[in-house]
Structure 1
C-alpha cells in the first residue's frame, strides 16, 4: 500500500537540512507545491497588515523589507503582492522586477535587491531615492534586501560631487536605532522578530498542517506498529506533556537569541522538518525519513534512532553537515547529552536495580517504551550492571555511552518542573543557571505581569560582582563593593574601596536590574551617586549571567571565561572612573575650610576586610603627615 501522506512527507522533507533543500527558498515553493499537490505551509506575517496600510495610504513614500538571509523577506513581499490583488502566477514568473497597478499609483516590487546588478540596480535605487526625497507619489517601491547589501549600495551611490545617497543616513538609523521613523520611508526589519515567537509559529504551522490527517488511515501507524514520524509529531505538539517539549526548545532558542545568535525562519523550518523526519539508521537517505523508510525501520526495531530528542541536535546527520547549519551548531553548543549530574546518571544507570530510585526510573525512563526504556537500552544497561566483558570492550562501551547521551537529551525535554530540586535539568546543559536567567527576564521585560526580582538571583549576582571586582571570597548579598588595588584597576586582588553601594537602588544610589530596550535584555545599572549621571550599565547576557553565578558558587573567574572576566574588569574600571568623578564633583562643592581640614587631618583610605564567614566590612585608616 502506498502511504497516504507520502507526497506530503516528501514535500516536507525538502525543508530539512538537505544539500538541495529548495523548499526553504520562497521562489521555489510554488513549483514544489504543484508537483506534490499539497497545500502550502502558511506562516504568520505579522507585518503585512502594517505594510498594506502604508502602501495604500496616499502621500507615503516607499517600503524596504530588510533582514538577513532566510528571514522571510521574499515571503513577506509575496504576501503583500497577493493582499494588494496581485496575480500569483505573475509573481512566480522569472522577472526580477514586478509592477502592480493600483488606482492613481504604481507599486514596483523587487523580490531580491541582490539579483539586480549594474544599471538595473542603479535605476531602482534612483527611483527609490526620488520616491523618498523627491516626494514623487505616483510610484511606490517595495524592495526586499539584506542589511549590509542595501547599505553598501547606498554608500557607493554618489552624486556628481561625490556625496553619498541621502537615503544612507535614514536607512542606517532605521537598522540601528530602535523606534526610528521616517516620514516617507518605511523600513520593516524582519531580523528583529523574537525567535521564540517565530519557533512557535513554525512548529504550529508544520505540526498542525491539515495534510497530516492523511496519516489517520495509514497502516504503518496502526495497532502495535509505531511510525517514528507520527510519534515525533505527537510529542512536538505536546498531546501528553502539555507542550513541555516545545517550551524547553523555545527556552534554548531564547537563550541563544539573548546571547546574540540570529536564527532566521529558514533555519527554524529546517529544524522543524528534522524534528519529525530525522533518523540515524544507515538505510535512511541523508538522515531524513520518507514514508517508504518506515517499514524497514519498524522491521529492524530501529524506531528509537529517530527520536525527536536526538533530532533537536541533528544527531541523525554527519557532524560537518550538522555544524554547517547555524541552528544545529547553536543548539549543540548547549552540550546537552554531554553535560550531566550524578543524580541523573545514577537514575539512568542504576535506577532499575536500586530500590531508592526504582519509582523515579519507572516514571521518567521506564514509562517511555519508544525512546526511553527500549529493549536495546535495557539490554546494554543490564550488561553494564552485571559487569560483562562486552561493555568493557570499546564497541560495547561506546554503544552504552551513546545511549546514555540520548537519555540525557530526552530527560532535558521531559523532566517535569516540579522535580527540579531533585533532577535539575538545566544542569544537563552548559548553562546551569539558565532557568534563573529566564525568570529574571520575566521580571523585567515590559508588558509582563510585574514581579520582583527573586532575592536569591539578586544576591548571587551581587556575590559574583564582588568576587570579580575585589578578588576576595566575599559573601555579602546586600552591598556592592567598588574597589581597586591602589593604582592598577586590572589587578586581580583589590582591597581599597572607592565606593560601597546597596544592592537595591536607594536614594539614587545602588544597583538596579532593569530592561535594556536596545539590547532587549536585562541590564545591571549601578549608581555610585548623583542619580543617572553617576550610573554605569552592564548588559546582562545569559553567558555573563552564567559567569557571575558560577563565580558566586566558587568558580575562579579567569578559569571559566576570559572574555567575560575582561568584560567585568572593564565594567569595574568604568565604575571606578564614575566614583572618582562623583567624589570630585562633591568635593568641589565644599568650601576651602573643608579642604584645609582634610589636609590637616591627612589622607583617609578605606579597606575591605573579610571575616571567616565570608562577610566583608569596611575599615577606614587615616594616614597623617609627619
Structure 2
C-alpha cells in the first residue's frame, strides 16, 4: 500500500503546509502566543521546519562587553516583542551556555565565565510575580552600586515594568530606589546609563532596515521552495499564498512594494510609534496569509488546506496583499489591538484619495481619455487589480439607478474601491503624472519629509521649495495672516498675549536661511533621526530655539502653507507651534534687552516714545514690518 506523499497535492498534505501553519502562528490570531520565545522554540520542534532567523543587532556589542571584563552588569531593555529574551538566549549561547540547559524550566540561569565571574541571566523580569523580582533586582543593585565584582547580572526587562518593580522595591525598603530615576531618564530622554550598568535598549533599534530583514526572512524562507512541488500552483492556478509571498519578496515589482511599506513604517517611527519585531512579523505574516473572508480562511489567515476552496470559489482577490498590509482583512477590533495595524490605519490608505484616482478606478475602462492609464495601472494586474469581480461590481454600480446604488451592491463596490486605492499606493510608478502616490494617504507631504532626511544625511541642502513651504507655514501660524514670505520669519504677538491666533505686531524678524549665525537652520537630530528647526535670533550660543519636526508637524505646516486653516487639521500641532512661538518671543525679548544694555543715556528724550512694528501685507501676500512711533503726551 502506497502512502500519499506531501508532494501529492490534493491526495495528501501540500509540501509547504507545515511551514505555512507555523508561519500562521506569527500572524494576528486572537490567541497569538508568539510573545514567548520558548513557545516559538517548541512550535519549531513540533512543525519540524527551519526557524525564522533574524539578526541580533546588539549581540556582538553585548559579547564584546562581557569579554572586556568591564565590572558591573547588563540590562537588555525594550517593549513587548522587541526580542529581549531572543537576545538573552543568543548571548547565553555565544558565551558558552548550553542551549538545552536554557530550554529547561526556570527564569534564572547561571553560567561560570572564564574570568571567574558568575553570569546570572534573568530571562524575563515579567515572569516573576510581585516580590519575586526583589532578589534578582537586589543582585543587580549589589553589582552596579555595591561594587560586587563576583557576578555580572544580565537582566531582560520591559521599560515600564522594570521602573514599576524598582519603585515598589524602594517603597518596601522605605527609600527611593537609586536606579529608578537614572534608568527612567535613560529610557525617556536617552540620558546616560548608570555607572557599571551597560544598557542595551532594543526599542531604539527597529527601523526600515528591520522591516526589510523581517520581510526577507518571511517571504524568502527556504521552506517556500517546497511550493514548487505543489499541485495548487500548477496548470495556470494561482495560489494566493505563493502569489503574496512573491510580491512581498519583490519578484513582481523589483521591490517597490517592500520599499513603500518601509516608507510607512519609517513615517510611523518618526512620529514616535515604536513597532517591535514581533509586530513586524505579524504584519508580514498577515500580508502573505491574510484573507478577508473568515468563512474561507479561519481567523482570516489562510493555510494550504484553504487554497483549493478559495480557488474554486473564485475569491483569490480577497487575499490581496495590499489590503492585508493595512489589516483590512481583519475584524476592526482585532486590527486595532495590534499597534502595527493601528499605525498603518493612521495613514488612511483606502479612505484617502483624489478625484483623478477615483475617476481612473470608476470610469477608466469606459472613458477614452483614461483607458490607456486604466490598462497600464489597473488592468495590468488581473489577480488584485481589474479582476472579474471588480469589473462586474463596477458595471452594476455604473449601470444601476440611484436606488440600486444605495443597496448592498454599491457597498460591495465601494469596499472594492478602497482595496484598489490601497493597491495603487503600492503599485503606482514613482512620480506618476496625475496620480502622486502620497495623495492616497493622510500624509500628502510625507515624501518631501523623507527627502529632507535624506538631504541632511548626505550633507546636501534642503530644497528651496520645501524650505519655503516650512517658512510660509511658520509665518501663517505665528501671525494668523495669509503671508507668502519665504525669505524671512516673523515672530509676532498681539501686544502681550502670545497664544493669540492673530498677531500683527512684529517683535522680531529673522532670515529663513542661517547667515552669519542668524536665521533658521534645518538640522538632523542624531538621537531621534528627525529634522529639527533651529531658529537663531542673534549670533552666539544660547540665542536660538529648536523645534522637533515630526512628520505630522511637517504635514501641518505644509497644509497651512497651502491654505488650510490651522485648527481644521490638528489642534495638537497648532498648540505645539504656538508653544514654539512663545519660546521665540521670550528669546526675542532677551536678545532685545541685551542689545539695549548700556544704551540708556542714548535714549534721552526718546524715552517717552514707543516704536511698534505692524505687519502689513502687500498685494500678492508678501508681508513687511511697518514701524509706527507712539509718543506719550507732553
TM-score interval for Structure 1 and Structure 2 normalised by the shorter chain: over 0.9
Which of 361, 367, 390 is the matching residue for 1:377?
390
Separation in structure 1 between the aligned mates of residue 180 and residue 497 of structure 2, nearest angstrom: 43
1:275-286 to 2 correspondences below 5 Å:
275-281=287-293, 282-286=295-299
SS in 1 for 2:534: strand
Separation in structure 2 between the aligned mates of residue 159 and residue 32 of structure 1, nearest angstrom: 41
**Counterpart in the other structure of 2:378:** 365
Separation in structure 1 between the aligned mates of residue 464 and residue 235 of structure 2, nearest angstrom: 52
**Counterpart in the other structure of 1:438:** 450
Are residues 554 and 59 of structure 1, via their aligned partners in 2, closer, same or farther at CA, if it must alter by over 3 Å? Answer: closer
- 1:182 CA drift (Å): 4.7
SS in 1 for 2:632: coil
Are residues 263 and 75 of structure 1, via their aligned partners in 2, closer, same or farther at CA, if it must alter by over 3 Å? Answer: same
Which of 606, 618, 622 is the matching residue for 1:598?
606
**8 Å CA contact 1:391, 1:400 repeated in 2:** no
Separation in structure 2 between the aligned mates of residue 280 and residue 176 of structure 1, nearest angstrom: 39
SS in 1 for 2:514: coil
**Counterpart in the other structure of 2:313:** 300
**Counterpart in the other structure of 1:551:** 560
Separation in structure 2 between the aligned mates of residue 119 and residue 476 of structure 1, nearest angstrom: 62
Which of 15, 32, 36 is the matching residue for 1:21?
32
Separation in structure 1 between the aligned mates of residue 60 and residue 201 of structure 2, nearest angstrom: 15
Q: 1:7 aligned to 2:14?
A: no
Q: 1:624 aligned to 2:631?
A: yes
**8 Å CA contact 1:54, 1:60 repeated in 2:** no
Q: 1:522 aligned to 2:549?
A: no
Separation in structure 2 between the aligned mates of residue 430 and residue 59 of structure 1, nearest angstrom: 49
Q: Which moved more, 1:115-124 or 1:323-332?
A: 115-124
Separation in structure 2 between the aligned mates of residue 574 and residue 449 of structure 1, nearest angstrom: 30
**Counterpart in the other structure of 1:131:** 143
**Counterpart in the other structure of 1:269:** 281
Separation in structure 1 between the aligned mates of residue 340 and residue 193 of structure 2, nearest angstrom: 32
* TM, length-normalised to structure 2: 0.95
Are residues 13 and 97 of structure 1, via their aligned partners in 2, closer, same or farther at CA, if it must alter by over 3 Å? Answer: same
Which of 234, 237, 242 is the matching residue for 2:254?
242
- 1:293 CA drift (Å): 0.2
1:564-579 to 2 correspondences below 5 Å:
564-579=573-588
- 1:240 CA drift (Å): 2.2
Q: 1:90 aligned to 2:98?
A: no
**Counterpart in the other structure of 1:228:** 240
Separation in structure 1 between the aligned mates of residue 31 and residue 221 of structure 2, nearest angstrom: 23
Q: 1:501 aligned to 2:513?
A: no
**8 Å CA contact 2:179, 2:194 repeated in 1:** no
**Counterpart in the other structure of 1:144:** 156
- 1:542 CA drift (Å): 0.8
Q: Deviations over 1:37-86 (max 9, x none)?
A: 00111111011111111122224211110011111111110111111222
**Counterpart in the other structure of 1:480:** 489
Which of 438, 453, 461 is the matching residue for 1:452?
461
Q: Deviations over 1:558-607 (max 9, x none)?
A: 121111111111111111111111101110132x331215326x211111
- 1:118 CA drift (Å): 5.4
Q: Deviations over 1:203-240 (max 9, x none)?
A: 11111111111111111011310000000011101112
Aligned CA-pair RMSD = 1.8
**8 Å CA contact 1:24, 1:269 repeated in 2:** no
* TM, length-normalised to structure 1: 0.96
- 1:467 CA drift (Å): 0.7
SS in 2 for 1:246: helix
SS in 2 for 1:98: strand
SS in 1 for 2:386: coil
Which of 186, 190, 196 is the matching residue for 1:174?
186
SS in 2 for 1:3: coil
**8 Å CA contact 1:464, 1:548 repeated in 2:** yes
**Counterpart in the other structure of 2:267:** 255
Q: 1:184 aligned to 2:196?
A: yes
**8 Å CA contact 2:425, 2:440 repeated in 1:** yes
Are residues 87 and 497 of structure 1, via their aligned partners in 2, closer, same or farther at CA, if it must alter by over 3 Å? Answer: same
Separation in structure 2 between the aligned mates of residue 77 and residue 442 of structure 1, nearest angstrom: 34
Separation in structure 2 between the aligned mates of residue 570 and residue 365 of structure 1, nearest angstrom: 46
Q: Deviations over 1:224-265 (max 9, x none)?
A: 100000000111011121111111111111111111111111
- 1:328 CA drift (Å): 0.7
**8 Å CA contact 2:167, 2:177 repeated in 1:** yes
- 1:516 CA drift (Å): 2.2
Separation in structure 2 between the aligned mates of residue 561 and residue 177 of structure 1, nearest angstrom: 25
**8 Å CA contact 1:60, 1:183 repeated in 2:** no
Separation in structure 1 between the aligned mates of residue 279 and residue 232 of structure 2, nearest angstrom: 30
Which of 352, 363, 366 is the matching residue for 1:339?
352
Which of 415, 425, 442 is the matching residue for 2:437?
425
Which of 330, 341, 362 is the matching residue for 1:317?
330
